[in-house]
């Protein structure tokens, strides 16, 4: 089972170089996982694309509506963020040995807790996950 990083979701819903590859991969999965954190980051990524004139407001609203519909109808398994995820993320960050950023550490804690494979297109994030010996699939 997959835990889908925001970078992958953006490529799934927005036209990008990796879009076809991501769409094929996710369509093979019965119910990929994400967290409410992913939902917030995805909304932020779409908003950024609109601000940078990569998407129109109308396209951004359409993409967000489709994503919300997919979440609400159960296309994705939504994992709640729990206290122990925050503690694990903090512990990994305090190792001082990885290039992990705050929210990436939290995503990894959620995926690790549920024994899910992290799927990302972020090379730095994938490297950090591998340094922690976590199951990761980097899409390039």
59 - beta bridge partners? none
Number of H helices, E strands in the chain: 7, 5
Rounded Cα distance between 120 and 11, Å, is 10
Q: What pLDDT shows up at residue 29?
A: 86
The tens digit of pLDDT for each residue in 27-81 reads 888 899 999 999 999 999 999 999 999 999 999 999 999 999 999 999 999 999 9
Q: What pLDDT shows up at residue 27?
A: 87
CATH superfamily of 2-138: 5'-nuclease (3.40.50.1010)
Q: What pLDDT shows up at residue 135?
A: 95
Q: What pLDDT shows up at residue 122?
A: 94
Which residues fall within 8 angstroms of residue 106, CB to CB, at 6 or more apart? 37, 81, 85, 86, 89
The tens digit of pLDDT for each residue in 80-111 reads 999 999 999 999 999 999 989 999 999 999 99
Q: What pLDDT shows up at residue 46?
A: 98
Which backbone phi and psi does 32 adopt, to 5 degrees? -60, 150
Q: What pLDDT shows up at residue 30?
A: 84
């Amino acid at each position: 089972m997959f835990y889908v990083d925001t970078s992958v979701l953006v490529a799934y819903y927005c036209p990008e170089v990796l879009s076809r590859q991501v769409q094929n991969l996710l369509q093979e999965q019965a119910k990929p996982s994400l967290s409410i954190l992913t939902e917030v980051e995805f909304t932020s990524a779409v908003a950024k694309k609109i601000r940078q004139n990569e998407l129109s407001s109308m396209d951004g609203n359409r993409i967000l509506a489709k994503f919300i519909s997919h979440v609400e109808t159960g296309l994705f398994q939504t994992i709640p963020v729990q206290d122990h995820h925050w503690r694990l993320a903090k512990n990994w960050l305090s190792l001082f040995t990885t290039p992990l950023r705050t929210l990436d550490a939290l995503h990894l804690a959620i995926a690790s807790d549920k024994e899910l494979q992290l799927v990302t297109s972020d090379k730095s994030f994938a490297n950090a996950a591998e340094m922690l010996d976590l199951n990761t699939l980097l899409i390039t």
